[in-house]
Structure 1
Amino acid sequence: MLQDIVEYLVCPHCGQALTPHGAVLRCAARHSFDIARQGYVSLLPGDAHTGTGDTAAMVAARDDFLGAGHYAPIADALARAAVGARSGADLVVDLGAGTGHYLAAVLDALPAAHGIALDISKFALRRAARAHPRAGAVVSDAWRTLPLRDASASLVLNVFAPRNGPEIRRVLRPGGTLLVVSPTPRHLGELVGELGLLGVDERKEERLAATLGPYLEFAGSSEQTFPLYLDHAAVRTVVGMGPSAWHTDPAALAERIAALPEPAPVTASVMLSVFTRPGEPGRDQD
């Protein structure tokens, strides 16, 4: 519920605390933000000129694919890592949360924690607002200042999403943990070749370390690889929910999918990387 996480939010214009007033959040400087009837709130600053993020069709595809359990091993690995982080998690922030699927899995494993789903797509957050009874959903841009108090989160999730190292460090409390899930070059490799999809950069892990290394300490990683057997409908869904949805011709894609065996054997392969903010909880070493 949004009301449960308001104490962690700040105004994107002036950085002051927000308080609820009926269906509006307002700061002391009288900046106000309407709570949508679907339960999320947009805290984008007025000068934001960003895209809309995932479209309604992409979000529906992701919801269908994740709801079918195809990526359950990823959600399970995240939940185990969240429990193992031992960071005393009371607030979990999912940066680029999408529908809130992974945040919900982590909150199920951390019964004392609340969660905030952050995403640029209002279509995704309409679903994220209902993903878990202890989660709230907020429209924000990962590349700008996040509308969160300094050192407010004990755990940050980042699953197939943009990473803003300075902001992640700012909102993580000392001793807090960041869990990053990113695809390896093997991820969906059978479909990449057959369908002409976007591949994964061979240097992705190197770029991840370069992006986050100046701000957080690397604490290890583990590869999660498992087989999928997808019917043609599921193949269309997994293509439609990712970045290849922006770069494929629908007619050509349909023809290529029809030529695949059914079910199509596909490899899912991701890296789960753990980073920490140095210092003990309650002691900022900056």
Structure 2
Amino acid sequence: MPSRVVARLRCPVCQDPLAEVVTGGSRALRCPRRHSFDIARQGYVNLLTGRAPHSGDTAEMVTARADFLSAGHYDVISAALAAAADTALAAADPGGSDAYPLVVDAGAGTGRHLAAVLAAVPAAVGLALDISKPALRRATRSHPRVTAALADTWQRLPLADASTALLLNVFAPRNGAEFRRVLAPGGRLLVVTPAADHLTELVTALGLLRVDPAKADRVAASLAGHFTEESTTVHRQELTLSGPEVATLVGMGPSAWHTDPAGLAARIETLGEPVRVTVAVRLGTYRP
């Protein structure tokens, strides 16, 4: 694993530094107290301690997300993040004193958005954190400068204090206290959440989960006492989708846990083609 990322990781048991070791052809990260964490053959390291409270997105959901994102349907989000990241990193370190700023995506999924940020900031290195093994298998291949780790972002993050120049949080849980701890002085947190009209054309027609009207308040509450909002921008784009693409879109999100596949397929058929769908998200920039 890249030494410039490993140097910023910490043992999730004792918080000591980690180093890569090779034993009998297998690789692991190990701390001085000999707590050891296996590096999977797909390239990600398992930094969980104990039993995970949940397994995250299933292989089917991750496949759906990868297919949908690779078609460019959410590139409006990736582009907004890349532009905001470039601005935030330049402001945080105008003199370029951090040769390899670390960008951490907490709840990275397939790594698509993190890869877009790294493409816009050639000096940066990236760390994808997620609880889903199928997601991390894809994240490790998303960009040459992405390292991936299995971790529960509700718990203490396996990172050193003030180790991170930029944190991304896209449609994922927010751990305000931990985000604050790992951000370096001058660092920034970029949070993407659905706006009220996100996928609005499908919500009623297909019986999908609605965006919580109090979403903005809940985001603010999760970060209160740790971050101050600097700016918020709204990004919208209308998609033109086929029936199968609509099914993929539903299958990659939270509604996949609550929707009967047979009933969903029947409702999608009634929509006709093409299906016009609004992508609408809020991108908030926060400083500690």
TM-score normalised by L of structure 1: 0.95
Q: Which of 40, 45, 61 pairs up with 2:44?
A: 40
CA positional deviation for 1:185: 1.5
- Which amino acid in the other structure matches residue 98 of structure 1? G
Q: Which of 9, 27, 31 pairs up with 2:31?
A: 27
What corresponds to 1:52 in structure 2?
Answer: 55
Q: Which of 113, 116, 121 pairs up with 1:105?
A: 116
- Indicate yes or no: 2:67 matched with 1:64: yes
- The CA distance in 1 between the partners of 2:210 and 2:46, in whole Å, is 32
- Indicate yes or no: 2:257 matched with 1:258: no
- The CA distance in 2 between the partners of 1:80 and 1:49, in whole Å, is 34
CA positional deviation for 1:217: 1.2
What corresponds to 2:252 in structure 1?
Answer: 241
Q: Which of 140, 148, 151 pairs up with 2:162?
A: 151
TM-score normalised by L of structure 2: 0.94
What corresponds to 2:285 in structure 1?
Answer: 274
* Preserved contact between residue 52 and residue 152 of structure 2 (Cα < 8 Å): no
What corresponds to 1:115 in structure 2?
Answer: 126
Output aligned runs, 1:83-232, within 5 Å: 83-85=86-88, 86=90, 87-88=92-93, 90-232=101-243
What corresponds to 2:14 in structure 1?
Answer: 14
- Which amino acid in the other structure matches residue 11 of structure 1? C
CA positional deviation for 1:49: 3.5
* Preserved contact between residue 2 and residue 39 of structure 1 (Cα < 8 Å): no
Give ranges in structure 2 of 5+ residues lacking alignment: none
CA positional deviation for 1:184: 1.0
Give ranges in structure 1 of 5+ residues lacking alignment: 278-286
- The CA distance in 2 between the partners of 1:4 and 1:16, in whole Å, is 16
Provide Cα deviations, 1:36-94, integer angstroms capped at 9, x if missing partner. Answer: 00000110112x34110000000000000000000111100100000111223710000
What corresponds to 1:77 in structure 2?
Answer: 80
Q: Percent identity?
A: 57
- Which amino acid in the other structure matches residue 47 of structure 2? L
- Which amino acid in the other structure matches residue 52 of structure 1? S
Q: How many residues align?
A: 276
Report the CA distance shift for 1:232/1:2 in structure 2 as closer, same or farther (over 3 A). farther
RMSD: 1.0
